[in-house]
A and B are shown apart, each in its own frame.
Chain A
Amino acid sequence: MSALLEVDDLRVTFGGTAAVRGISLTVQKGETHCLVGESGCGKSVTSLAVMGLLAKGGKREAARLSFAGDDIRDYDEKQMSRLRGDRMAMIFQEPMTSLNPAYTVGSQMTEVLRRHRGTPRAQAVDRAVELLTRVGITAPGLRLGQFPHQLSGGLRQRVMIAMALMCEPELLIADEPTTALDVTVQAQILRLLAELQKDLGLGILLITHDLGIVARVADRVSVMYAGEVVESAPTAELFRAPRHPYTRGLLSCVPVPGKVKRDEPLGSIPGVVPRIPPGFTGCAFRDRCNFAEAACAGTIPRRNVGPAHEMLCILPEGAGA
Chain B
Amino acid sequence: MSTPAIEVRGLRREFRASQGLFAPPRRVVAVDDVSFSVPAGSVLGVVGESGCGKTTLARMILGLLEPSGGEVLVDGKRLDGMDRRARARLIQPVFQDPFSSLNPRRRVRDIIAMPLVAQSNVATSEIDRRVAESLERVGLSTEQGTRFPSQLSGGQRQRVAIARALVLRPRIVVCDEPTSALDVSVQAQILNLLAELRRDLGLTYLFISHNLAVVEHVASEVAVMYLGRIVERRESEALFRDPRHPYTRALLDSVLTPEPGLGVPDVGLGDIMPDPANIPPGCRFHPRCPACFAPCATTAPRITSLEDGLVECHLAG
Taking the closest CB of chain B, its distance from the CB of A250, in whole angstroms, is 6
B33 partner residues in chain A, CB cutoff 8 A: none
A13 at the interface (CB under 8 A from B): no
What CA separation (Å) do A187 and B267 show in the bound complex? 7
A183 at the interface (CB under 8 A from B): yes
A263 partner residues in chain B, CB cutoff 8 A: 195, 199
A216 touches B264 (CB 8 A): yes
A184 touches B250 (CB 8 A): yes
A212 touches B266 (CB 8 A): no
A182 at the interface (CB under 8 A from B): yes
Partner of B267, one of A188, A211, A254, A268: A188
Asked whether A137 and B50 contact (CB < 8 A) given A253-B188, A256-B258, the answer is no
Residue in B closest to A190 when the chains form the complex, CB atoms: B264
A209 touches B184 (CB 8 A): yes
Residue in A closest to B265 when the chains form the complex, CB atoms: A187
A254 partner residues in chain B, CB cutoff 8 A: 184, 188, 213, 258
Q: Which of B259-317 contact A (CB under 8 A)?
A: 259-267, 269, 271, 273
Asked whether A266 and B213 contact (CB < 8 A) given A212-B258, A215-B259, A235-B260, the answer is no
B192 at the interface (CB under 8 A from A): yes
B125 at the interface (CB under 8 A from A): no
Asked whether A194 and B217 contact (CB < 8 A) given A188-B271, A257-B252, the answer is no
Asked whether A211 and B258 contact (CB < 8 A) given A257-B213, A258-B240, A268-B192, the answer is yes
Q: Chain B: interface residue count, which band?
A: 35 or more
A186 partner residues in chain B, CB cutoff 8 A: 254, 256
Partner of A255, one of B214, B256, B263, B267: B214
A138 partner residues in chain B, CB cutoff 8 A: 271
What CA separation (Å) do A183 and B210 show in the bound complex? 8
B216 at the interface (CB under 8 A from A): yes
Residue in B closest to A252 when the chains form the complex, CB atoms: B188
A153 partner residues in chain B, CB cutoff 8 A: 50
> How many A residues, CB 8 Å from partner?
54
A39 touches B188 (CB 8 A): no
Residue in B closest to A253 when the chains form the complex, CB atoms: B188
B220 partner residues in chain A, CB cutoff 8 A: 262
What CA separation (Å) do A206 and B240 show in the bound complex? 30
A268 partner residues in chain B, CB cutoff 8 A: 185-186, 188-189, 192
Taking the closest CB of chain B, its distance from the CB of A263, in whole angstroms, is 6
A191 partner residues in chain B, CB cutoff 8 A: 264-266
Asked whether A260 and B258 contact (CB < 8 A) given A137-B271, A182-B49, A267-B188, the answer is no
B136 partner residues in chain A, CB cutoff 8 A: none
B250 partner residues in chain A, CB cutoff 8 A: 184
A72 at the interface (CB under 8 A from B): no
A136 at the interface (CB under 8 A from B): yes
B213 touches A256 (CB 8 A): yes
B210 partner residues in chain A, CB cutoff 8 A: 182-183
What CA separation (Å) do A186 and B266 show in the bound complex? 11
What CA separation (Å) do A269 and B192 show in the bound complex? 12
Asked whether A182 and B50 contact (CB < 8 A) given A257-B212, A262-B217, the answer is yes
18 further A-B pairs in the complex, CB-CB below 8 A; given A38-B184, A38-B186, A257-B257: A38-B185, A182-B210, A183-B49, A183-B251, A183-B256, A184-B251, A184-B267, A185-B49, A186-B254, A186-B256, A190-B256, A209-B183, A210-B256, A213-B256, A239-B258, A257-B240, A265-B195, A272-B156
